[in-house]
Structure 1
Amino acid sequence: MTGTTLAVATAAELPAAGWQDLLGVEDFFQTPRWLAVQERNGGTTLDFLIRRQAGVPVAGLVAAWATDKVPWLLARPDALLKHSVAAGKEGAERCLAEVARNDPDSLLPALVCGGRHLGRTRTLTAPGADPSDVDALVEHAEQIALERGAASVCFPHVDARDTDLIELLDKRGYSWHSSEHYSWLPVPSGGFDEFLAGMTQHRRRRVRLERRAIAEAGVEVHVEPLTKALAPRLGELDANLLAKYGNPGSPEYSAGLLSWISEVMGSDALVSLATKDSEIIGFGLVLRSSARGEEQWFGHRAGFDYAAQGKLQLYYEVLYYRVLEAAAQAGATVLHAGIGSTDAKLARGCLASEQRSYLLRLKEFRE
């Protein structure tokens, strides 16, 4: 099939180029609004490629330029490979030896394809797309990477069920290692009560005890729209969580990001707030996605005042239980829980799928 590949300069220009026609409800992190957020906070260059047939968009690909200066570690091929080797994940030692030549840092700079969000890295396709269209997009991205002097191309979190993309990357010579598991929770129409009924008796008891302890400590949790007025306090809590897990960040940076998200996303950005004595001590950011008559919710960021929290189990109250209640009331069908803490999420009713990091070391670096 013949076709053309178009490079779009900014996220703001994507709607006019027909990008919206490629999006489903699960593609929130590749919507023009969210890509505009990433343009501002990612500290790097983003590329937006669209494949057309007879002038109609049939496929799309987002790419981000990654150096050792960008802070989004778990979408960077070097950091992701180090993490996977340390965790003993499948294929990690092979990729370390064969692709990274025993030096993960040698994978940088890299072109990160399919979006730098954590989980379900993918190309976008319309119903009329042919595999050759996606192949053309990937080839175009690889050429961009070569021209910029990249050491590698990476698709950081390809879902194991995305067999079409996996087949294409295999044919193009990519190697892979397991990177994480992505979790999501189907929202029962009966809300939290139905969700709780599906647990084991032991787990139901544990959840009830956790929620009772939070209530008896005088902590209240509710969901409301994210606003700029909330950003300074939430920025402090967000930075607390980042610091706990060794990620770079500052309260001021986090506050600025949250303020920008509130401006761009409007009523589709919600926060689940835990308050005690009128002070916010924990939060979870939830983003609403609507497409083709369906609504799904995505948990995205969180933060806590660990001293005020003490031994209270606020994480699941803020990011699961209260959000699940609100999602059911809104008619949402899925709550996306993202990567990490897979066993704990499975124990709370989530489903999960393996994610794989696909790596291509570029020709001129194979000498």
Structure 2
Amino acid sequence: MTVETIKNWRELNPLGWSGLVTDEDLFTSPEWLRIEEEPVGPWHSKDRAYLAAVGPRGAEAGLIALLFDESVTEPLCRTDLYVAGLDPALDQDALSRDLLPCVMAGGWFNSRVLLAPGLSGGARRQAVESLVAAAEDFAADSSAGSIAFSCVGAQQHELRSVLTDAGYLALPTGPRHVMSVGWDEYAGYLGSLRSRQRLRVRKEHQRILDSDVSTRVERMDGSNVADVARLARAVEGKYEMDATSDQLEEWFRAIAAAPIPNVLFTADRKGARCASTLWLSRGRHLYGFHSGADYELSDGLPTYFETAYRMPMDYACASAGSIGVLEYGVDSDRAKLNRGSTALDQYVYLKATSPEVQRRLEAGLTRSSTVTG
């Protein structure tokens, strides 16, 4: 088994990369990586390496590594911002100086090493070790100050073991929320909720029915992408994110043009769009990608909950089994749990490329911030 470094998504499929990608791995698929390579959007990486452990029959394992600097403001892509959020007493300027640029390995969603089905236990461990080492080499060659696996699931025992043995610091992050779709109609989903949750969900929907809001299911394309970006920018602004309307629109246009099925759940009021949620599909998984809202036009109506929860679940239940899981990602834990999500624990694994910085980092973070590898 040898490790190859690929720089262009077009070179992945001849190696059999797509055979490593499961329904849970949309953001490490060639279809998504073609978007990552375009100089668009708010999270554009400065460089990248697709690392493949190649055997006689092609790729047996894969790992993506993306290089980010201070031009990106998303903590999932910036180790310095993530660490600063854990302990406000730490010096932000020093963290940026020590940890940037940084390499994010495994993707910013469900970070993992992709492994070929049927790969034996010993070969699996060897592949994971080889690819983690190759990602560290990429970080060193890029003069990165740190490398992180930002969303490692608790069930990724092999990867967590390798990262712990390699000296990574394990830190907490929010759980990944999923909803399994086990019903052929929305009433079945409602019946699965506890009575208080069911009452809340019904009241939210009734408020929409009693209002002048109309809803639709669409596909995002050139005809509506500007509205999607406008509403997304309003949400970004509410949470003090720096993405501009132009960045979001060019990003969404690239996504709409990619061979990734999408679905858009929308709400209109007074002749204008007041809310939408964009979902992307891989296999039987539907990923909640971005929400948008015109808060003034929505005027306190639960348009977000309608487009983010009721409509996607109704759509999934009516899919005749073609959608099995709704992926809700991180954050808003209470809202998601109240609507029946399952929270999957995950962790950030972080390593400074300088041993001295790593020692300072470990000493600076409180003991309660670390977890057992």
TM-score (norm 1): 0.90
One-letter code aligned to 1:27: D
Percent identity over the alignment is 26
How many residue pairs are counted as aligned between the two chains?
Answer: 348
Distance 1:168 1:357 in 2: 14
Q: Secondary structure at the match of 2:318?
A: helix
CA distance in 2, matches of 1:277, 1:123: 48
Partner Cα distance (2:27, 2:68) in 1 = 18
1:235 Cα deviation after fit: 1.0
For the residue of structure 2 that corresponds to 1:247, the secondary structure is: coil
The 8 Å contact of residues 120 and 158 in structure 1, kept in 2 or not, is answered as: yes
Is the 8 Å Cα contact of residues 269 and 298 (structure 2) preserved in structure 1? no
Partner of 2:318: 329
Residue 23 of structure 2 contacts residue 285 of structure 2 at CA under 8 Å; is this kept in 1?
A: yes
* Alignment partner, residue 162 of structure 1: 156
Q: What is residue 48 of structure 1 aligned with on the other side?
A: 50
Aligned twin of 1:282: 275
Q: Which residue of 2 aligns with 1:16?
A: 14
1:187 aligned to which of 181, 185, 194 = 181
- Consecutive unaligned residues of structure 2, counting only runs of 5 or more, are 360-373
1:101 positional shift: 11
Shift of 1:189: 2.0
- The corresponding residue for 1:89 is none
Aligned to 2:366: none
**Equivalent in 109, 113, 129 of residue 105 of structure 2:** 113
Choose the corresponding residue for 2:304, options 298, 315, 338.
315
Could you say if the C-alpha distance between residues 102 and 253 of structure 1 is closer, same or farther in structure 2, counting changes exceeding 3 Å?
Answer: closer
Corresponding residue number in structure 1 for 2:370: none
Cα distance in 1 between the residues matched to 2:57 and 2:194: 54
In 2: Cα distance, 1:15 partner to 1:191 partner: 38
Q: Is the 8 Å Cα contact of residues 62 and 113 (structure 2) preserved in structure 1?
A: yes
- 1:85-164, aligned counterparts within 5 Å? 85=87, 103=95, 105-115=97-107, 117=108, 119-127=109-117, 128=119, 129-164=123-158
The question of 1:357 aligning with 2:355 is answered no
Q: How far off its partner does 1:4 sit? A: 0.6
Indicate conservation of the 8 Å contact 2:24/2:110, yes or no. no
Instruction: Please give the TM-score of this superposition, normalised by the length of structure 2.
Output: 0.88
Q: Identify the residue that residue 338 of structure 1 maps to in structure 2.
A: 329
Q: Which amino acid aligns with 1:122?
A: R
Aligned CA distance change for structure 1 residues 69 and 365 (closer, same or farther; 3 Å): farther
1:301 pairs with 2:299: no
CA drift at 1:70? 1.9
Q: Partner of 2:84 in structure 1?
A: 82
Matched position secondary structure for 2:144: coil
Paired letter, 1:210: E
C-alpha contact 1:284 1:300 (8 A) present in aligned 2: yes
Query: Any idea what the Cα deviations from partners look like across 1:7-51, whole Å, max 9, x if unmatched?
Result: 112112211221111011111111111111122231421210100
| Partner AA of 2:268 in structure 1 | T
Query: Aligned residue for 2:170?
Result: 176
Q: 2-side partners of 1:229 and 1:161: how far apart?
A: 41
In structure 1, the residue matched to 2:231 is 237
Instruction: Output the aligned Cα RMSD.
Output: 2.0
| Deviation, structure 1 residue 54 | 2.1
**Deviation readout 1:336-363 (Å, 9 max, x if unpaired):** 0100011221111000112211111124
Deviations 1:146-185 (A, max 9, x none): 1221111111111112111100100101011101111000
Residue pair 2:212, 2:270 contacting (<8 A) in 1 also? yes
Alpha carbons of structure 1 residues 101 and 72: separation in structure 2 relative to 1, 3 Å? closer
CA–CA separation in structure 1 for the residues paired with 2:146 and 2:45: 19
Q: After superposition, give the CA deviation of every residue in 1:198-247 in whole Å (9 maximum; x if it has no partner).
A: 11222222111111111222112222111111011111111111111111
Q: What SS does the corresponding residue of 2:316 show, helix, strand or coil?
A: helix
Counterpart contact for 2:49–2:138, Cα < 8 Å:
no
| Runs of 4+ that moved beyond 3 A | 100-105, 363-367
Query: Which amino acid in the other structure matches residue 279 of structure 2?
Result: V
Identify unmatched segments of 5+ residues in structure 1: 87-92
Contact 1:272 1:323 survives alignment (8 Å): yes
Q: Structure 1: how far apart are the matches of 2:239 and 2:356?
A: 33
SS of the residue corresponding to residue 345 of structure 2 reads: strand
Alpha-carbon displacement from aligned partner over 1:86-140 (angstroms, at most 9, x marks no partner) = 6xxxxxx9xx69xx9973652111111001x2x3111101121521111101101
Matched to 2:286, the amino acid is: W
- Alpha-carbon distance in 1 for matches of 2:197, 2:135: 47
SS at match of 2:161: helix
CA contact (8 A) 1:58 1:126 kept: yes
Tell me if the contact between 2:84 and 2:95 (Cα under 8 Å) persists in the aligned partners. no
Residue 90 of structure 1 is matched in structure 2 by none
Work out the CA distance in 2 between the residues paired with 1:299 and 1:342.
14
Q: Is the 8 A contact 1:44 1:70 kept in 2?
A: no
